[in-house]
Amino acid sequence: MKILIIILGLIFLVSCKQAQPNEAKVLASGHWIDLTWNFEESTVYWPTNVSFKHDTVFYGVSSKGYFYSSFKYSAEEHGGTHFDAPIHFSRTGRSVEQIMPDELTGPVIVVDVSQQSAQNRDYLIKPGDFIQWEKAHGAIPGQSIVLLYTGFGKYWFDHEKYTGTLKSGIAGVEELHFPGLGPEGAEWLVKERKIKAVGIDTPSIDYGQSKYFETHRFLCGNNIIVYENVADLGQVPAKGSYAVAAPMKIKGGSGAPLRLLVWVPVK
C-alpha cells in the first residue's frame, strides 16, 4: 500500500510539472482584459426579469467621526455579464458552487461571426463557422473556452439595438432579435471538440427568437457552462489567450453574476 501511495504521488507531481510550462508560457507577458459589463440599473436583463438594484445603506461621516459607506443590491441570477450553470436547463445538472476551479480557467479561442450577424440579427452560428475558423487557425483544442464574437456588444448602451426591443414582460420576449449558437453548432463543439465552456456577447446563447432553448438544453445536459452578455470581445485575438471566469458562488444557483477576465499575451 505504501509503495502504491508513493507511485501515485510521483505520478501526480510529474503531471503537475508537465502542466505548468504551458500556462507559465502563456502568462509570461501580456495584459488582462476585463470582459465584464458594469452592473447598474441600466444593465440588460431578460424582459421578464427584475432589473439590477443598488441602494445606499449609509454614505458619509459616521456619528464617531469616520467616513463609512455601505450599499445593498438585488438581482436575478441571469442578467448582465453572467454565468449559466448546468442546472439552469438540466434537472440533474450541477449548480454554481459545484463547478470546479479548473472548469473556470483555460485557453480561449474567439470565433468571429460579426459579419454574418450584421447581415442577419437572427443568425444561428453553425458547425461551418467553426470549420472555417479551423481552416485559418488550426483545430480547436479540447477543453477550450470558446467565445463567440457577434459584434453586438457595440450596442450594449442602446437597449433596443442590443436586444431588439424596449418592451418588458412577455411582449418584450416576443420581440427579441439577436444572434445565437445554433443547436447543431453546440453539438459539434461538444462532441467533436470536447470544449469546456462557451460564451457570447448577446443576452443568450440561444438566439433571440428561440422558443424551446435547444442550445441551452443541450449544453446544460452535457455539463457545459455558459457565459452570456460578454463585453469587449473585439479586443481578444482568435487564439492564444487565457480566461479566468469567476462567478459569484451561489449555493444551489442556476447562474450568477460573472467577472470574466482574459489574459492576452504579447505577440
* pLDDT the model gives residue 140: 98
Element (H, E) at 8: helix 2-26
* pLDDT the model gives residue 267: 75
Average pLDDT, the chain: 92
Task: Give Cα separations from 37 to 21, 33, 44, 232, 261 (angstroms).
Answer: 32, 12, 10, 9, 11
How far does the chain reach from its first CA to its final CA, in angstroms?
49
pLDDT by residue (tens digit) across 54-102? Answer: 999 999 999 999 999 999 999 999 999 999 999 999 999 999 999 999 9
pLDDT by residue (tens digit) across 199-247? Answer: 999 999 999 999 999 999 999 999 999 999 999 999 999 999 999 999 9
Question: Which of these, 241, 231, 259, 228, lies nearest to 144 by C-alpha position?
Answer: 241
Q: For the chain, which domains are there? A: 30-265 (3.50.30.50)
DSSP character string of 48-106: TSPPPEEEEEEEEE-TTS-EEEEEEEE--SSBSSEEE-GGGT-TT---GGGS-GGGSEE
Written as one letter, the residue type at 204 is S
* pLDDT the model gives residue 8: 37
* CB of 97 closer than 8 Å to CB of 249: yes
* pLDDT the model gives residue 91: 97
122 DSSP assignment: T
Q: What is the 3-state secondary structure (H, E, C) of 193-239?
A: HCCCEEEECCCCCCCCCCCCCHHHHHHHHCCCEEEECCCCHHHCCCE
22 — pLDDT class (breaks 50, 70, 90): low
SS3 label, residue 31: strand
* pLDDT the model gives residue 210: 98
Residue 24 has pLDDT above 90, yes or no: no
Task: Give Cα separations from 116 to 4, 120, 126, 180 (angstroms).
Answer: 56, 6, 11, 11
* CB of 188 closer than 8 Å to CB of 201: no
Written as one letter, the residue type at 20 is Q
* CB of 151 closer than 8 Å to CB of 118: yes
pLDDT > 70: what percent of the chain? Answer: 91
Average pLDDT over residues 33-61: 97
103 CB-near residues (< 8 Å, 6+ apart): 196, 197, 225
Average pLDDT over residues 156-170: 97
153 DSSP assignment: G
Residue 17 has pLDDT above 80, yes or no: no
* CB of 247 closer than 8 Å to CB of 96: yes
Element (H, E) at 171: helix 169-174
